[in-house]
Structure 1
Amino acid sequence: MTSVIKTREIQYTAKDGSTLIGYFAAPESTTPVAGVIVSPEWWGRNEYTEQRARELAEHGYAALAIDMYGNKKVTTEATQANEWMTETFQDPETIVTRAFAGLETLAAQTEVNQAKLGAIGFCYGGKVILDLARAGAPLQAVATFHANLSPKSPAEEGKVQAEILVLHGELDSMVSFEDVANFREEMHAVKVNHEVIIFEDAKHGFSNPLADERAKANGVDLGYNAEAEKQSLEAMYELLAHHLKA
């Protein structure tokens, strides 16, 4: 772990014309390091996403918390979050287009080793990076936390380059065990190296300490689980180290 990191905001433009503002964090290093994009929950590119980017930098990675809504829009209201998220689904190419823009922006930074790229995502952001991987992005490792697993279109054999780690809560009422089973079948069918870890007594949003607060304020079934958070992050860092630091 390194205690000296640097951060900055980076404005970039996706091919759909949207102006996006990412949050970049990297260790102070004389040589380029592996890069990881961090795709946010439906709340937008908020402090939680930025915190995860800083933690990655402390672990020796360059990280970019990507903006999926434009102009780093954030909210704490589920109705607004759902509206913004739904807008990104109207054109089936939007989320992959914007995620690719984030990945390309990350790779273009001088601190980043372009040959070592990964992605992590939370909830909505998990779907974003899974679809990015399905689209053939040059990723070596992908980890999702309580993610929507349904594909924009099923993965094609030979296209997914990453090993995929899915971190799922046993009590997740938004992503069913049928969804998990379908995801596994999809990955097996195209011979993608993947693992699904299911955490006992964990709800949707288990990795976010603010999940209970968000649940109460919005009447949605979220819940923080400290042990699941700890174990899921350990599994994620193990995956990243295996592929990006070897």
Structure 2
Amino acid sequence: YLADGLTMIGHLALPAGADRRPAALLGPEGTGLSDVERRRADALAELGYVALAFDLHGGRYLDDPEEMLARCLPLLADPDRMRDIGHAALDTLRAEPRTDPDRIAAVGYGTGGAIALELGRAGVDLRAIGTVNGLITGRPGEAARIRCPVWAGVGSEDPIMPPAQREAFTAEMQAAGVDWRLVVYGGALHAFHHPPVDHTTLPGVGHHPRHAQRAWHDVVGLLSECLTSAE
């Protein structure tokens, strides 16, 4: 599908059966879509969700930190570009016949989480928004358009999302009257949820196996609460 002037290559995972199912949009870290997100989408399909892990970089995985920052920092500073990427992926998910269009959540990690939040600030009808590491504040007043619960997770030792950024994010959510939650995982760094990689990473990035598992359970719990509670 097309977005941000690129041909994006997402990963769609379908649950068993032929009926319409609740759906989850799954956004990757700034490095881009990898097998980590593909496996997460597959795991959500096994739980009964239609899941689309979306692309950020036109089928590329940016393992060079400088190249990743050169693309992601301007993107994170441009809410409209983030929304365009999110809308294109969401339209692709909605076009899947198995998707129940009235029961969609957006969950993302890092840049993907920031995009999920921007969809909420754009007033998109979502049942839930989840973001890990992507606690980016939006333009003044736009968080009031968020119409669903927001769950956020972050490592206590994350230098990229420090306490001041967490406080700004929670103040934005609170002022907008959003139903929000923030989980701070003690001792965890940035991208603590992501398995170790064999390339150079930014300072302050590190895997925390126990908290990675806990954060995944929290994401699954959010989807269960907000997508399947009416079944």
Fold-level match, TM-score > 0.5?
Answer: yes
Q: Indicate yes or no: 2:205 matched with 1:222.
A: yes
Deviation at 1:154, TM superposition (A): 3.3
Q: 1 CA distance for matches of 2:192 and 2:86?
A: 23
What residue is the counterpart of 1:44 in the other structure?
32
Deviation at 1:150, TM superposition (A): 2.4
| Matched residue type, 1:28 | A
- Give the alignment of 1:168-179 within 5 angstroms: 168-179=154-165
Deviation at 1:220, TM superposition (A): 2.0
Q: 2 CA distance for matches of 1:218 and 1:91?
A: 24
Residue of structure 2 aligned with 1:194, choices 177, 180, 188: 180
Deviation at 1:152, TM superposition (A): 3.8
What residue is the counterpart of 1:121 in the other structure?
108
Q: Greater relative contact order: 1 or 2 (C-alpha under 8 angstroms, separation 6 or more)?
A: 2
| Matched residue type, 1:161 | R
Residues 20 and 67, structure 1, Cα contact 8 Å, conserved in 2 = yes
* Structure 1 residues 23 and 186: CA distance shift in structure 2, 3 A: same
Residues 121 and 129, structure 1, Cα contact 8 Å, conserved in 2 = yes
| Matched residue type, 2:109 | F
Listed as ranges, the gaps of 5+ residues in structure 1 are 1-11
Which deviations, in whole Å up to 9, do the C-alpha atoms of 1:176-196 show, x marking residues without a partner? 111111111111111000100
What residue is the counterpart of 1:161 in the other structure?
147
Which deviations, in whole Å up to 9, do the C-alpha atoms of 1:49-82 show, x marking residues without a partner? 1111111111111111111222x11122111211
Which deviations, in whole Å up to 9, do the C-alpha atoms of 1:174-227 show, x marking residues without a partner? 11111111111111111000100011111101101125x55xx24522111111
What residue is the counterpart of 1:76 in the other structure?
63
Residue of structure 1 aligned with 2:73, choices 70, 73, 86: 86
Q: Indicate yes or no: 2:65 matched with 1:65.
A: no
Q: 2 CA distance for matches of 1:90 and 1:209?
A: 27
Residues 68 and 95, structure 1, Cα contact 8 Å, conserved in 2 = no
> Number of aligned pairs?
229
What residue is the counterpart of 1:110 in the other structure?
97
Q: Indicate yes or no: 2:11 matched with 1:23.
A: yes
* Structure 1 residues 150 and 237: CA distance shift in structure 2, 3 A: same
What residue is the counterpart of 1:232 in the other structure?
215
Deviation at 1:83, TM superposition (A): 1.8
Q: 2 CA distance for matches of 1:155 and 1:92?
A: 13
Q: Indicate yes or no: 2:171 matched with 1:185.
A: yes
Identical counterparts, % of pairs? 27
User: Aligned-pair RMSD on alpha carbons?
Assistant: 1.7
Deviation at 1:30, TM superposition (A): 2.0
Q: Indicate yes or no: 2:67 matched with 1:97.
A: no
Q: Provide the secondary structure at the position in 2 that maps to 1:21.
A: coil
Q: 1 CA distance for matches of 2:203 and 2:104?
A: 34
* Structure 1 residues 166 and 92: CA distance shift in structure 2, 3 A: closer
Deviation at 1:237, TM superposition (A): 1.0
| Matched residue type, 1:243 | C
Listed as ranges, the gaps of 5+ residues in structure 2 are none
Q: Provide the secondary structure at the position in 1 that maps to 2:73.
A: helix
| Matched residue type, 1:103 | L
Q: Indicate yes or no: 2:20 matched with 1:32.
A: yes
Q: 1 CA distance for matches of 2:62 and 2:193?
A: 18
Q: 1 CA distance for matches of 2:107 and 2:143?
A: 22
